[in-house]
Structure 1
Amino acid sequence: MNPQIYAVLEPVHLLLERVNSDFVVRQIARAVGRQLREGTDAERLHHRLTARFSKVMLSEIRDPGRWLLGVALPRWGCGFQDCEAGVLWSTGKDCEVCAEIVQDKTAARRHAQRIEQGLCPEHGTRPGPGGHCVDCVLDDAIRNPASAPAPAQREPEGPPRGSCGDCGARIVVVGRALEDGLCKLCREEAAALAAASAPAAAPRQAGPVTAEQQTCSGRDGTVPCGRKPLPFRNVCGVHRVQELAGEVA
């Protein structure tokens, strides 16, 4: 055997002596020589044999020749030649390619286990009542907000509701509100204005009317209100609504 090859095999000389077949010994020598010719350092091969032989018990190796050819000598790792069992020989750092391969295998194994258990392959959760994973639906809605169904607007129970066409207050659209779209106070104010603007049937004598009786006593900010008051009230419909709102509050 070539002295260089024999020196490389120094960590496993004990096993090499137990190989009874000269043919197997020549195969071992050829395997070492081939790796040396392909650029593998003798130190690297020496380290590989030392590391792998240290991880087994001598009693566990039943066929030394087969173990040397099939376990001790082959390079373990990815397609990157500098990778030595997941570690880069030149730098001593972990091989990123091998790390990704391990992660992919772990993910594939977990994916298969979840499918067997009837779980979501992505999140590992039980499907919802609709047969879909709630987390998957949420993730899809986040990625594609336009495709997410808009929540249905809940219609209030009871009679239809709307807004007064004059003051804008929320009203229940029933009765006369279906015809004029006004709240009660605005309807009364409109009726009073209509009655005041209608021509009188006959002239009548009336005493002097004060400004307080002709206009609302309320104020819009700092400006006196110019609207007519409601019948039997000293304020108009708008200020009456404000008074009622203050009483409720």
Structure 2
Amino acid sequence: MLEPVRVLLEQVTSPFVTRTAREVGRQLREGTAADRLRHRLTARLATVALADIRDPGRWLLGVALPRWGCGHQDCETGIIWRTGAACELCAETVQDRFAARRREQRLEQGLCPQHGTRPGPSRHCADCELEAAVRLPARAPAPREPAGPNRCSCGGCGCVIFLTGRAVDTGLCKLCREEADARADVEPAAPAAPTVPGTCSGRDGESPCTRRALPTRSVCLTHRSWELDGEVA
């Protein structure tokens, strides 16, 4: 497993050899595969010249053996070890860092941090003004609930009204009361059912006739018919 860095191990003093062996054993106990460690050492050594490694022991412990990647245990320098696919978390981190650096550079150059264009007299670039023009209007805030014992919502339009005068009985604002009164004047009232006892149930063509009521029975003076218990004989 340590064959790729054997040339460096020969240059390391005994304390660093012991620490390197302990680090390798710790990673193996935590589930890191031996071929994964071997691949990591080979890849790290391929990115540096041997002449540039001044302290082999520190390089092995600080550069060659540590796992690089995100919090995903299977991530190996931005690559998922088991599948070989790119790590999405690492890709998002790289994009966020790139966007932050680009924003800082644009701010230093006096450009729009979002579009990278020169702002106009309004301190906004043309793209920002266009987006603001076509942006949908914000939704109106929901009406607040009436507070206090002397306030309520109108039953017609929902506006907040004070419970005074006719509003106490109707629960409507002035405009809604006027509209209700206007509709009541226009709409014809339904004919009321006869409630006076002694009215003849027969009709002479236009209106009920009148009769004289008796204690047990009544007779219709117009139709000359008897009525028993509310029914015309």
Report TM bin, short chain: 0.5 to 0.7
Alpha-carbon distance between aligned partners in 1 of 2:98 and 2:32, rounded to the nearest angstrom: 31
Relative to 1, partners in 2 of residues 1:92 and 1:146: Cα closer, same or farther, differing over 3 Å? closer
Relative to 1, partners in 2 of residues 1:37 and 1:128: Cα closer, same or farther, differing over 3 Å? same
Of 64, 67, 70, the residue aligned with 1:75 is: 67
Specify the alignment match of 1:53 in structure 2. Answer: 45
* CA-to-aligned-CA distance 1:164-202 (integer Å, 9 cap, x gap): xxxxxxxxxxxxxxxxxxxxxxxxxxxxxxxxxxxxxxx
Alpha-carbon distance between aligned partners in 1 of 2:26 and 2:90, rounded to the nearest angstrom: 24
The aligned amino acid for 2:3 is E
Which fold has the larger relative contact order, with Cα–Cα distance below 8 Å and residues 6 or more apart in sequence?
1
1:123 aligns with 2:115: yes
SS in 2 for 1:109: helix
Task: List structure 1 segments (4+ residues) > 3 angstroms apart after TM superposition.
Answer: none
Give 1:55 deviation, angstroms.
1.6
Of 99, 112, 128, the residue aligned with 1:107 is: 99
Identity %, equivalent residues: 68
Alpha-carbon distance between aligned partners in 2 of 1:146 and 1:107, rounded to the nearest angstrom: 28
Of 1, 6, 21, the residue aligned with 1:13 is: 6
The aligned amino acid for 1:11 is P
Specify the alignment match of 2:80 in structure 1. Answer: 88
Name the structure where helix makes up a greater proportion of residues: 1
Specify the alignment match of 1:142 in structure 2. Answer: 134
Could you tell me which runs of 5 or more consecutive residues in structure 2 were left unpaired when the two chains were aligned: 140-233
Aligned length: 139
Specify the alignment match of 1:213 in structure 2. Answer: none
Relative to 1, partners in 2 of residues 1:89 and 1:128: Cα closer, same or farther, differing over 3 Å? same
Specify the alignment match of 1:156 in structure 2. Answer: none
The aligned amino acid for 1:74 is P
1:31 aligns with 2:23: yes
Give 1:57 deviation, angstroms.
1.1
The aligned amino acid for 2:69 is G
Alpha-carbon distance between aligned partners in 2 of 1:51 and 1:32, rounded to the nearest angstrom: 16
Could you tell me which runs of 5 or more consecutive residues in structure 1 were left unpaired when the two chains were aligned: 1-7, 148-249
Specify the alignment match of 1:232 in structure 2. Answer: none
Give 1:140 deviation, angstroms.
2.2
Give 1:141 deviation, angstroms.
2.3
1:133 aligns with 2:125: yes
The aligned amino acid for 1:17 is E
Give 1:48 deviation, angstroms.
0.3
Aligned-residue RMSD, C-alpha = 1.4
Give 1:19 deviation, angstroms.
0.3
Alpha-carbon distance between aligned partners in 1 of 2:133 and 2:122, rounded to the nearest angstrom: 16
Alpha-carbon distance between aligned partners in 2 of 1:116 and 1:48, rounded to the nearest angstrom: 39
SS in 2 for 1:70: helix
The aligned amino acid for 1:135 is D
Specify the alignment match of 1:215 in structure 2. Answer: none
State which drifts further: 27-36 or 128-137. Answer: 128-137
1:43 aligns with 2:40: no
TM-score, normalised on structure 1? 0.54
Alpha-carbon distance between aligned partners in 1 of 2:101 and 2:38, rounded to the nearest angstrom: 35
Alpha-carbon distance between aligned partners in 1 of 2:3 and 2:133, rounded to the nearest angstrom: 63
The aligned amino acid for 2:12 is V
1:97 aligns with 2:104: no
Give 1:143 deviation, angstroms.
2.4
TM-score, normalised on structure 2? 0.57
